[in-house]
Amino acid sequence: MPRRTEKAVSTLEQLLAAKEIAVTAGSGGVGKTTVAAALGVLATVNLGGKVLVLTVDPARRLANAMGLEAFGNVEVRVPDAAFDQAGAEPRGELWAAMLDTKASWDDLVRRHAPDAATRDRILENPLYRNITGKFVQSHDYIAMERLYELHHTGEYDLIVVDTPPTRNAIDFLEAPERMADFFSSRLLRWLLAPYQSRFFNVASKPFYQVADRILGSQFLEDIAEFFMLFQTMHEGFVQRAREVTRLLEDRRTTFVVVSTLEPAPVREAEFFIDALSDRRFHLGGLVLNKVLPGYFRRSDATGAAKQLCAEAEVIAAKLPAAVGEPADIARVLREVGESFLNFQVVAKREAEQRAELAAAPDVVATAPYFETDIFDLGGLCRLGEAIWR
Amino acid sequence: MEVDLLDRKLVFVTGKGGVGKTTITAAIGILASQQGKRTLICEVDAKGDVAGLLETRPTGFEPREVQPRLFAMSMDTEASLREYLQLQLRLPLVARLGPLARTFDFVANAAPGVKEILIVGKLAYEVRERHYDLVVVDAPATGHVVGQLAAPQAINDLVRVGLIRNQTDWMLEILEDAATTGVVIVAAPEEMPVTETLELVGRLRTETRVDLAGIVVNRVLPELFGRREEELFERLREPDALATLDDAVPGAVEPVLEGARLAVTLRRTRAGHLTRLREGADGVPLLYVPYLFARTQGLRTTRQIAEALGAELGL
């Protein structure tokens, strides 16, 4: 008899046991950050070693759930007491950190700036301060950069990282490459050339006259200074961005796509799964979150629910008087039946969505709709247990 | 209802990812056009969900009438830049010359504030020129929308003189006039969406001067029972009653009861979050839209949502 070939990896436990980095991805609101934290907790309990959860979502409650007041750019250890309270026994250490975009950019500049004077001028450039402090796209790059840096320390056996809530889920995958392109751009050099010349005079070049009219000379100078200063870090930056991309493509890195079974997140998950395979990133697992319980799809319950609606009065009359007035009972029975049929519509749609999504990844795990919110390590354990094996 | 939502000219719809932001945008658009207003829906994230919700072919930068009086477009910063150069700065020739446009795009990419202003600028332009009675924007999610709405002010702080400065001045006039512009936050009665909504209420007030028009609470589960009925329901699940039910009803009755229990619990947990939202909303009007137990998502469900929202607005 031919032996059935078993998939080498069929649970998230097996997946994470063989990886150094797990990146959770998916559209906003699907519970990505919570799933990342739950995976970190379960890895600490079951696999041991040093585990780091790196989050980009400043959810204070997540910090609290991990038994911490708050956490920031520097990693902090989750106290064993939090595990004790949850009745869990960690085999390893759990650490947590949150991405601070501004602080991480400043670190990066300090590392790559050729000298102290350049460093200070960059840090004080108004454009730099705006880009790193206020605007969104710089998150994508810096999140991956920070991941690289933490991995590079060799401190951690496993890093679970959730991704920034990008408008497009693949933006962050391309961020390092975009950054490298940006600094290698010929256009950039062309733009800056006149500023690097002592003999440069804005008035002498029509292009700069137009730009000056539109942007105002101060702003133009700020832009020029910004780009010129960043040029000094060109080599280091480009090299670093390429290394970050390599790390994401490495077999030690895996991606876990998180989604609910609502139509819009499913569409985005599908898109993301395709994007991962196009770019040869490793799609390790799919976590389907907040899924309705399977009993909503039981066909023998459908009949019962319909009967409750259709024959509510007849059934109510048969029930013990202690339950209540027959008219009240009938009303409740009808509500109960209708509610079930309503949820069944959704549950059936979910089952269909699930079948479509589940084809690609090695591991597919389902987490139920928890009736209460997750507010402590025990809650994270419950979620983790549901998807771990 | 005090909300003069549809009487404004520019409405930004935002909310935490996954709460139904795009659906509410489309619903507001349908409502306004049904009221006889020439309405434009603009999708900023360009995921193409609006087309699905209105069951029309993909939208582009050029607005297209998808239903009577209802137009839809998706934002494209490059196209917006081209239009900006031609219309605002009257630089048709230069705009067609490659280097400047490319440099702008490049600057826009490097300094994303510029990109954001191209988006806000295009929207404010449509309002200023009175091309539409109402422009409804499917804006970025809670984390990003402040950056977008604050961009004109940020640019204003950076650029002291020049044409750009003149541009941001009139944009700010439109954005900061409460009779013209309003933000709608879409929330769901769950913990994180409520928390993010309350945070955004605070940030909008401190970091921008854009008026908060209202909060739409989406996906509110129906209340199955009042308190007396809930007690009765509990008694139904006691062994005696359960045995009787099992006899009286063919098939499996237990999952049906279990399902109702889940519905009751979910509704109760969410009622807590709703209370938190009401208390923290600080006078901002709340509009409730029910959860739809729908098989599919499309024009039919979008219309149902619009109808529910219209009822809340007193239409």
Name the A residues in 113-142 with CB < 8 Å from any B CB: 126-127, 130-131, 134-138
What three-state secondary structure class fits A214? helix
Give the nearest partner residue to B256 out of A135, A187, A308, using CB atoms.
A308
Contact state of A136 with B143 under an 8 Å Cβ cutoff: yes
| Contacting residues for B301 by C-beta, under 8 A, at least 6 apart | B23, B53, B292, B294
**pLDDT over 60 (residue B97):** no
Q: For the CA atoms of A361, A365, A371, A377, what is the dihedral angle to 10 degrees?
A: -110
Query: What distance in Å separates the CA atoms of residue B152 and residue B22, rounded to the nearest whole number?
Result: 24
CA distance B60 to chain A (A): 18
Residue at B139 is within a domain: yes
CB-count burial class (<10 Å; 0-12, 13-18, 19+) for B44: buried
Q: In sequence order, which residues have a C-beta less than 8 Å from that of residue A357 and are 6 or more positions away?
A: A259, A266, A269, A270, A273, A286, A288, A364
Give the ipTM of the model, two decimals please. 0.87
Yes or no, beta carbons of A216 and B235 under 8 Å apart: no
Please check whether residue A222 touches B, CB under 8 A: yes
Q: Is B162 within 8 Å of A215 when comparing Cβ atoms?
A: yes
Q: Return the pLDDT at A1.
A: 42
Question: Using CB atoms, which residue from B192, B224, B265 is nearest to A339?
Answer: B224
Report if residue B144 sits inside a domain. Answer: yes
User: Which of B17, B22, B251 lies nearest to residue A165, judging by beta carbons?
Assistant: B17
Torsion angle of the four alpha carbons A267, A268, A271, A272, in this order, in degrees rounded to the nearest 10? -150
pLDDT greater than 90 at residue A127 = no
Residues B283 and B289: their CA atoms lie apart, in Å, by 19
Model-wide pTM > 0.95: no
Report the distance separating Cα A16 and Cα A255, nearest Å: 10
Report the residue of chain B nearest A212, measured CA to CA. Answer: B162
Q: pLDDT grade, residue A3 (50/70/90)?
A: very low
Highest mean pLDDT of the ranges A98-107, A213-222, A245-254, A373-382: A245-254
Within a domain: residue B274? Answer: no
The model's pLDDT over B253-293, given as tens digits with 9 standing for 90+, comes to 999 999 999 999 989 889 999 999 999 998 899 999 999 99
pLDDT at B289: 97
pLDDT (mean) for B19-31: 95
% of chain A exceeding 70 in pLDDT: 83
Structure tokens belonging to residue B31: 């409502």
Return the percent helix, strand and coil in chain A, to nearest 5.
Answer: 60, 10, 30
B179 within domain boundaries: yes
Confidence of residue A69 (pLDDT cuts 50, 70, 90): confident
The two structure tokens encoding residue B35:
């009221």
Does the pLDDT of residue B92 top 60, yes or no? Answer: no
Q: Does domain A12-292+369-388 match CATH 3.40.50.300?
A: yes
- In chain A the first and final C-alpha atoms are separated, in Å, by 28
List the structure tokens of B36: 């006889």
Kindly tell me if the per-residue pLDDT of B93 is higher than 70. Answer: no
SS3 A18: coil
| Residue with more model confidence, B202 or A63 | B202
CB-nearest to B163 from A213, A296, A349 is: A213
pLDDT in the model for residue A197: 58
The model's pLDDT over A334-370, given as tens digits with 9 standing for 90+, comes to 999 999 999 999 999 999 999 888 887 889 999 988 7
Q: What is the 3-state secondary structure (H, E, C) of A274-336?
A: HHHHHCCCCEEEEEEEEECCHHHHCHHHHHHHHHHHHCHHHHHHHCCHHHCCHHHHHHHHHHH
Please count the structural domains in chain B: 1
Nearest to B110 among A182, A308, A372 (CB): A182
C-beta atoms surrounding B309 within 10 Å: 22
Maximum Cα–Cα distance for chain B, whole Å?
Answer: 86
pLDDT tens digits along A74-84: 899 999 999 99
Using alpha carbons only, what angle is made at residue A192 by residues A190 and B82, rounded to the nearest 5 degrees? Answer: 65
Distance, in Å, from the CA atom of A194 to the CA atom of B98, rounded to the nearest integer, reads 19
Per-residue pLDDT at B98 exceeds 60: no
Strands A21-25 and A158-162: parallel
CA B161-B163-B169 angle, to 5 degrees, is 80
- List beta partners, residue A23: A161, A255
Does residue A246 surpass a pLDDT of 70?
A: yes
- Contact assessment for residue A310 and residue A333, using Cβ atoms and an 8 Å cutoff: no
Q: Poorest-confidence range of A104-118, A207-221, B8-22?
A: A207-221
Helix (H, G, I), strand (E, B) or coil at B212: strand
Q: Above pLDDT 90, what percent of chain B?
A: 60
Contact A240, A272 (CB under 8 A): no
pLDDT for B167 equals 78
| Residue B234 within a domain | no
Instruction: Give the tens place of pLDDT for each residue, B158-182.
Output: 766 666 677 788 899 999 999 999 9
- Best residue in B93, B253, B301 for a mutation probing chain A (most A CBs within 10 Å): B253
- The string of pLDDT tens digits covering residues B36-55 is 999 999 999 767 688 989 99
pLDDT band for position B91 (50/70/90)? Answer: low
Confidence check: pLDDT of B303 > 90 = yes
What's the rounded mean pLDDT across residues B240-263? 93
Q: Are A142 and A99 in contact (CB under 8 A)?
A: yes
What single-letter amino acid sits at B158? L
What is the residue extent of each domain of chain A? 12-292+369-388, 296-348
Q: Which range of residues forms the domain containing residue B177?
A: 5-221+283-310
pLDDT at A138: 65
| Half-sphere exposure in the Cβ direction for B212 (13 Å, CA) | 27
Over 50: is that where the pLDDT of B1 sits?
no
The reported pLDDT for the residue numbered B141 is: 83
Greatest CA separation found in chain A?
100
pLDDT at A41 over 90: yes
- With CA atoms as reference, the chain B residue closest to A371 would be B266
Which residues are CB-neighbours of A335 under 8 A, at least 6 positions away? B224, B225, B229, B260
Q: Is the pLDDT confidence value at A4 over 50? A: no
Average pLDDT over residues A166-176: 67
| Structure tokens belonging to residue B299 | 């024009």
Q: Check B110 against A191: CB less than 8 A apart.
A: no
Q: What is the pLDDT of residue B38?
A: 98
Q: What CATH number corresponds to the domain at position B40?
A: 3.40.50.300
Q: Across the interface, do B251 and A188 touch by the CB < 8 Å criterion?
A: no
- The band of B2, judged by pLDDT with boundaries at 50, 70 and 90, is very low
Give the pLDDT of residue A2: 43
Residues of chain B with Cβ-Cβ distance to A259 below 8 Å are none
Q: Say which amino acid occupies B171.
A: M
| A212 — pLDDT class (breaks 50, 70, 90) | low
Whether residue A336 and residue B160 make contact (CB cut-off 8 A), yes or no, is no
**Is residue A186 less than 8 Å (CB to CB) from chain B?**
no
> Per-residue pLDDT for A39 more than 60?
yes
